[in-house]
């Protein structure tokens, strides 16, 4: 993987994820999986599948709840098995999509970050009818860049920006992260500018159109998360 390939990749997120092996921990990989599954949220018709994703997100940041993770994994698998029976009984496109979405939710509570990331991406794409690359894989590649930025040329934050105005930027980033208020990223960009940031890459990331997710490289950098 070279920088040009990283920036242009849109046909499959797997080579990008593979490049990050050894360069990141399970947290980012699990959050990428959850971001993929949240794109098929409406197809998760059983609350246990949604709970699995929410628990996986919490576990990514606080990896101490193995008992809960194991329980929701069992429940999510039960849902997937039921959805598979429905798929076999009905054999229609919607039933297949619901089953694939349920499998993607199962993946978020899997054991290792690499398996989590790849399986969730594969199954959520299948739930949207994207079996061989295309629109959903392009979105997933953008999500990889959303979480990891440009690992070949990482952006450096000036500590003075984070101290500005009683740590205003940090507090805003924390609220955005905790409450999933990614629509407020342009406001965060305004605060960064007022704090003295003139880095076009950082400011554009906040203001550019497109999907943002928990684990965003910039929000993580502000909060000191890895």
Res. 95: pLDDT tops 80? yes
Name the nearest CA neighbour of 185 among 143, 163, 216.
216
Q: What is the DSSP letter of 182?
A: G
What would the mean pLDDT of 3-16 be, rounded to a whole number?
94
Q: Quick one: pLDDT at residue 37?
A: 97
Q: 18: which residues sit within 8 A by CB, 6+ positions away?
A: 1
As a whole number, the mean pLDDT across the chain is 94
Res. 43: pLDDT tops 90? yes
**Percent of the chain surpassing pLDDT 70:** 98
pLDDT per residue as tens digits for the range 205-220: 999 888 899 999 999 9
Res. 80: pLDDT tops 70? yes
Report the C-alpha gap between 175 and 192 in whole angstroms: 15
Q: Quick one: pLDDT at residue 113?
A: 83
Q: For the chain, what's the residue count?
A: 226
Q: What is the DSSP letter of 150?
A: -
Q: Quick one: pLDDT at residue 131?
A: 61
Q: Quick one: pLDDT at residue 133?
A: 59
Using alpha carbons, list the distances in angstroms from residue 170 to 24, 96, 153, 214: 22, 43, 23, 15
| pTM, rounded to two decimals | 0.94
Beta bridge partners of 82: none
* Tokens linked to 161: 């920006």
Contact 131, 96 (CB under 8 A): no
Res. 223: pLDDT tops 90? yes
Domain residue extents for the chain: 3-148, 159-223
Q: How confident is residue 132, by pLDDT bands cut at 50, 70 and 90?
A: low
Q: Quick one: pLDDT at residue 65?
A: 78
Report the C-alpha gap between 149 and 218 in whole angstroms: 8
């Amino acid at each position: 993987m070279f920088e040009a390939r990283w920036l242009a990749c849109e046909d499959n997120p797997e080579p990008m994820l593979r490049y990050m092996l050894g360069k990141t921990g399970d947290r980012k990989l699990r959050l990428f999986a959850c971001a993929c599954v949240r794109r098929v949220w409406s197809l998760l018709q059983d609350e246990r599948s949604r709970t699995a994703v929410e628990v996986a997100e919490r576990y990514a940041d606080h990896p101490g709840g193995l008992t809960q993770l194991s329980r929701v994994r069992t429940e999510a698998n039960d849902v997937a098995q039921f959805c598979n029976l429905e798929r076999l009984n009905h054999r229609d496109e919607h039933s297949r999509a619901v089953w694939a979405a349920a499998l993607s939710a199962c993946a978020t509570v899997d054991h290792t970050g690499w398996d989590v990331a790849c399986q969730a991406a594969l199954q959520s794409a299948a739930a949207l009818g994207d079996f061989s690359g295309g629109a959903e894989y392009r979105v997933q590649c953008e999500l990889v860049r959303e979480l990891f930025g440009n690992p070949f040329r990482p952006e450096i934050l000036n500590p003075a920006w984070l101290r500005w105005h009683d740590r205003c930027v940090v507090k805003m980033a924390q609220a955005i992260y905790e409450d999933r208020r990614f629509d407020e990223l342009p406001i965060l960009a305004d605060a960064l500018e007022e704090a003295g940031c003139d880095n076009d890459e950082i400011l554009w990331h906040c203001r550019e159109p497109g999907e943002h997710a928990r684990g965003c490289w910039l929000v993580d950098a502000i909060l000191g998360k890895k």
